[in-house]
Chains A and B, each alone.
Chain A
Amino acid sequence: MAGKPKLHYFDARGRMEAIRWLLAAAGAEFEEKLIESSEDLDKLRYDGSLVFQQVPMVEIDGMKLVQTRAILNYIATKYDLYGKDMKERALIDMYTEGVADLGEMIMLLPLCPPDQKNTKLTLIQERATNRYLPAFENVLKSHRQDYLVGNKLSKADIHLVELLYYVEELDPSLLANFPLLKGLKTRVSNLPAVKKFLQPGSQRKLPGGEKSLERARKIFKF
């Protein structure tokens, strides 16, 4: 019997959080090996465990997978969260990449120099309001189904709902004019596995503060 997937990352959301969300939503239990110092990271590198010397890395089904997208795509396929055919996969990919683009901007905001932060925040708000949220709202409006693709839960829904939580954390007013997105968020959040993940004490990570950023700087030397 295969062991549980083991996630190698530091104690923060970063690029691993989407993987935690997806595994959790799929009902897959997982373990985490936290990187707490640059020595921990060096050890993984010297062991040859990191193909490109980077994390996230996930030990799963006998493989040491790196590269967030490769990991997510593997998990999604394994748990039937990647559509039923090529065309559905293309739509799921397209929506996922849009989510990733906005998500990346939000994730990198804390690293912004203080004098640029306000400009960056305004850009995020503008992009969310005028580009990304309307695109997804319109997809849901176009077919009036419960999920983005193929009338079935897919990784696209899970990634989008995770993003909606971050958008809400940043500025709750941003979701105001998107009723179908709010509906999707509620629906996905109420799925038993997701509901469990959203409760305190789960493996979901909290927003990193200054201390988390400092720790990341020490581990990854930037």
Chain B
Amino acid sequence: MATKPKLHYPNGRGRMESVRWVLAAAGVEFDEEFLETKEQLQKLQDGNHLLFQQVPMVEINGMKLVQTRSILHYIADKHHLFGKDLKERTLIDMYVEGTLDLLELLIMHPFLKPDDQQKEVANMAQKAIIRYFPVFEKVLRGHGQRFLVGNQLSLADIIQLQTILALEEKIPNILSAFPHLQEYTVKISNIPTIKKFLEPGSKKKPPPDDIYVRTVYNIFMP
């Protein structure tokens, strides 16, 4: 019997949240070991559990995988979330990479100087509305299907939904000019595994707060 994947990361979103989303969407139960102190990180590093001395790290199928993208790709591969052939896989890759560029702004946001944070919300909104959302709105409008690629759920949809919901927390009306994305958001949210993840009591983490930021500084600052 396979053991559950085990996630090593602080108790917050950061770079691990995408992994939580994909595992949840795939219906895979997982355990979490939360990093709270510098000593815990040191222990992982000294024990050679972290290839590049960094987290996220996921123990899965006998491997200690690090680097967010390699973790996401492995899970997607394993759970049929990467399309049916090379061309679909490549489209999914392309869409995921674009969305991750946008998500990166959200990940970094809590660590900006307070004076810069407001300006950055405007920057995120602009990037989303001008560069990213039009692409996906056009894709959905173009094929009229429920999912971005190949008429089935893929990594692209999961990361897209994660990013849209996180942006909506900061900018509630961000999808106002994108009717297809609005409908898409509702439909993907209602997929049973994802719906469960969106309910209270799941492993989905709340928006980053001061405690999370302080924990991260304590663990990772030299």
Contact = CB atoms under 8 A, between A and B. Distances in A.
A34 interface: no
A77 B83 CA distance: 14
Given A52-B98, A52-B131, A87-B63, A94 B93 contact: no
B70 interface: yes
Contacts, number: 75
Contact of B93 (A69, A87, A101, A131): A69
B67 interface: yes
A63 interface: yes
B13 interface: no
Contact of B86 (A74, A93, A97): A74
B50 to A, nearest CB: 9
A56 B24 CA distance: 33
Contact of A90 (B68, B73, B97, B131): B73
Q: Is the interface of B mostly helix, strand, loop or mixed?
A: helix
B62 to A, nearest CB: 9
Given A53-B131, A67-B97, A98-B52, A86 B90 contact: no
Contacts of B61: 87
A interface, size bucket: 20 to 34
B150 to A, nearest CB: 15
B52 A93 contact: no
B77 A86 contact: yes
A131 B52 contact: yes
A105 interface: no
A13 interface: no
A150 B94 CA distance: 26
B63 A90 contact: yes
Q: Is the interface of A mostly helix, strand, loop or mixed?
A: helix
B66 interface: yes
A70 interface: yes
Contacts of A63: 87, 90
A73 B92 CA distance: 11
A185 to B, nearest CB: 20
B51 A94 contact: yes
Nearest to A97: B67
26 contacts: A51-B135, A52-B131, A52-B132, A52-B135, A66-B94, A66-B98, A69-B93, A69-B97, A70-B93, A73-B89, A77-B86, A78-B86, A86-B74, A86-B77, A87-B63, A89-B77, A90-B63, A90-B74, A93-B69, A93-B70, A93-B73, A94-B67, A97-B70, A98-B52, A131-B52, A131-B53
